[in-house]
Structure 1
Amino acid sequence: MESDAATPAGFRQRKLPSKLRMRGAASDMADPNQLFDDTSAHAGPPGLGYRGQETPGMGFPAQALLTEPMSNFAVTYGSSLASQGKEMVDRNLDRLITISKLKYYFAVDTVYVGKKLGLLVFPYMHKNWEVRYQQDTPVAPRFDINAPDLYIPAMAFITYILVAGFALGTQNRFSPEILGIQASSALVWLIIEVLVTLFSLYLVTVNTDLTTIDLIAFSGYKYVGMIVGVVSGLLFGRTGYYLVLLWCCIAIVVFMIRSLRLKILSEAAAEGVLVRGAKNQLRMYLTMAIATAQPVFMYWLTYHLVR
């Protein structure tokens, strides 16, 4: 009864088994601030935590086998697709336009550009119109003023669109839609002109070294005269526009006839006299038609820009 009175809250103290007393003694010797018992001695294999979870800093072999091969496969497959796509684009692009040939038409320098612009505006004093060749290959435009190029037509086309926008702005008629229509119409007419020329050469059965890029270059030279005409109209009115545009139209006709005559008539020397005479007339008519079509386009694309 005395032991019952010494026990707090009236509970009787029972003796614990020997194994439980030993475990309690070991726990009393542990850190009093420790919340949980150390069960590392009874844990599983190293690298696994509670319930087989991966402990930080330790790699799980099964997961590594699943993730690393998949990522490597994805990278390899993506790079192979990119290389195949690049090869396909290059192959199809080479079928349409050879990059090396396209670089030829942009091989210009400042001296060539200045001389070619002067030739387009004043072609009357120029004597030799033959394109020079080196080992059956035409020399680069920067070495021959008679060689066609794409630099001047491309820059002239962009400048023409900018000048057209400025002219429309001075008349309070500028808008992005109108400028887009102006650019698209000029481009469409250029494409139509080149296609009609190619079809005409096919009908006349002309075997010439003129390529599609050459025709684009020659057709694009008229934008130089169009720019000069519109700028003159902005500075001196419609009278200045008509006078300067007339000069530029005559100049481009002379330039086109003298440039295309040698290329379109290049095979005439290898034919007989009768065949040569009949085909030469058709070729001359075709050359005159191509040349005289340039002033029509020049006026059609610029007359509404000057008031």
Structure 2
Amino acid sequence: MDYQHQGYRATKPRARASLPTGGPLLFDDTSSGPPLMNNQNYYSSGYDMAAAPAGGQEPGVSNIFGDPMANAAMMYGSSLANQGKDIVNKEISRFMSVNKLKYFFAVDSKYVVKKLMILMFPYTHQDWEVRYHRDTPLTPRHDVNAPDLYIPTMAFITYILLAGMALGIQKRFSPEVLGLCASTALVWIIIEVLAMLLSLYLLTVHTDLSTFDLIAYSGYKYVGIIFTLLCGLLFGSDGYFVALAWSSCALMFFIVRSLKMKILSSISADSVGAGASAKPRLRMYVTVASAAFQPIVIYWLTSHLVR
């Protein structure tokens, strides 16, 4: 007798001793081929097993990455991002050279210690000449006389933090006052650098001093500012004025000796022409004026923090 159960195809009769007549099958008979799928199957008719990738991913995911239009859109977006990055780097390079900026931060611990000692005790330092290698100045880590921006940057940040602590001790701290201290210190640097650039331009001084060099020499004053402020907080007004005098004299000596090697070294190249004899004197005046300006700024930025 032929058996037919629901949607299964008719198969060759087999002996089923334990199967009750008319009862459901415990196991499907697949010996003669795969079963036909109908609307009562285990899988829906809309799902294509061949389209399912290995690992259980949805078939639409692989279709997106395999779509030529999607790949073209991704490549176009990547090219736009690269072009935008190049434009930004070009615009930054117009106003700031990244390679030059890296040069001023090429320091190590040994250089920082030596430079701080020269800033606080410059009278014992003998050789002030900046060394060159193939017409290129050596990096600060290889030449202690080379200007850097690491010490001025760290000293500026330390000054802001120390000013906040001093204001907190005196119960005068507020974000507005601290912001005013930071902006005032930054404005003084900008004014000093612009005045120095204008003076060199009016005197037609041909020197290798760059804007970064002037920012570095202007920023070294914050080492003396930190020393003066600490002495004022620890020892009162007497300690403040003693530290102010020491740091001012040390910084003035350091600025004169450092800028003298930069500004006065090109006198021989500009010695031809009318009024050439007056140029060395004017250059010395600019150097001394820049050094004399440092104690004024130190006092201005620290006097209101020590009481």
1:55 aligns with 2:19: no
Counterpart for residue 17 of structure 2? none
Aligned to 2:204: 205
Count the aligned residue pairs: 269
Task: Tell me which amino acid in the other structure corresponds to 1:185.
Answer: T
CA-CA distance at 1:70 after TM superposition? 3.8
Pairs within 5 Å for 1:88-103? 88-103=87-102
User: Do the aligned partners of 2:227 and 2:243 also contact (CA within 8 Å) in 1?
Assistant: yes
| C-alpha contact (below 8 Å) 2:132/2:138 kept by paired residues | yes
Instruction: Give, in whole Å, the separation in 1 of the partners of 2:302 and 2:107.
Output: 28
Do residues 149 (structure 1) and 148 (structure 2) align?
yes
How do 1:36-185 and structure 2 match up within 5 A? Answer: 55-57=47-49, 68-185=67-184
1:82 is paired with a residue whose SS is: helix
Question: What SS is found at the alignment partner of 1:184?
Answer: helix
| 1:176 shift after superposition | 2.1
For 1:125, the aligned partner's letter is: T
Cα 1:138–1:55 shift into 2, 3 Å:
same
Aligned counterparts of 1:82 and 1:126: Cα–Cα separation in 2: 52
Larger relative helix fraction: 1
- Which residue of structure 2 lines up, in the alignment, with residue 44 of structure 1? none
Q: Deviation at 1:272?
A: 3.0
2:64 and 2:84 map into 1 onto residues whose CA distance is 31
Residues in 2 aligned to 1:232 and 1:154: alpha-carbon distance in whole angstroms: 21
Q: 1:186 is matched with which residue?
A: 185
* Residues in 2 aligned to 1:248 and 1:133: alpha-carbon distance in whole angstroms: 30
- What is the one-letter code of the residue matched to 2:154? M
In structure 2, what is the Cα distance between the partners aligned to 1:176 and 1:140?
Answer: 38
Work out whether 1:279 is the aligned partner of 2:276.
Answer: no
Distance 1:147 1:290 in 2: 18
How many Å separate the matches in 2 of 1:154 and 1:296? Answer: 20
- For residues 262 and 29 of structure 1, what CA distance do their matches in structure 2 show? 106
Tell me, yes or no, if structure 1 residue 225 matches structure 2 residue 201: no
Instruction: Tell me, in whole angstroms, the C-alpha distance in 2 between the residues paired with 1:66 and 1:170.
Output: 63
Could you list the runs of 5+ residues in structure 1 that have no partner in the other structure?
A: 1-27, 34-38, 42-47
Matched, 1:30 2:39: no
TM-score (norm 2): 0.79
Secondary structure (helix, strand or coil) at the match of 2:276 reads helix
Between the aligned partners of 1:279 and 1:255, the Cα distance in structure 2 is 22
Which of the pair has more CA radius of gyration?
1
Which digits, 9 at most, give the CA deviation of each residue in 1:174-210, with x for residues without a partner?
1222212211221122112111211121111111100
1:305 alignment partner in structure 2: 305
Any conservation in 1 of the 2:65–2:71 contact (CA below 8 Å)? no
* Structure 2: runs of 5+ lacking an equivalent: 8-21, 25-35, 39-43, 52-58
Residue type of the alignment partner of 2:161: L
Listed one character per residue, the Cα deviations across residues 254-285 of structure 1 (whole Å, up to 9, x for unaligned) are: 11111101211122112238643211121111
1:68 Cα deviation from its structure 2 partner: 2.4
* CA distances 1:7-55 after superposition (whole Å, capped 9, x unpaired): xxxxxxxxxxxxxxxxxxxxx973699xxxxx989xxxxxx96xxxx53
What is aligned with 1:19?
none
Moved more, 105-114 or 203-212: 105-114
Deviations 1:39-91 (A, max 9, x none): 989xxxxxx96xxxx53446599xx5999234223321221121112211222
Offset from partner CA, 1:282-307 (integer Å, 9 cap, x none): 11111111111111111111110000
Q: Which moved more, 1:173-182 or 1:239-248?
A: 173-182
1:238 aligns to what?
237
Shifted more, 186-195 versus 148-157: the winner is: 186-195
1:212 is displaced (CA, Å) by 0.4
RMSD: 2.9
Distance 1:149 1:183 in 2: 21
Q: Deviations over 1:225-264 (max 9, x none)?
A: 0000000000000111111011101111111111101211
Normalised TM-score (structure 1): 0.79
Secondary structure in 1 matching 2:123: coil
Aligned mates of 2:244, 2:287 — CA distance in 1? 21
Letter paired with 1:287:
T
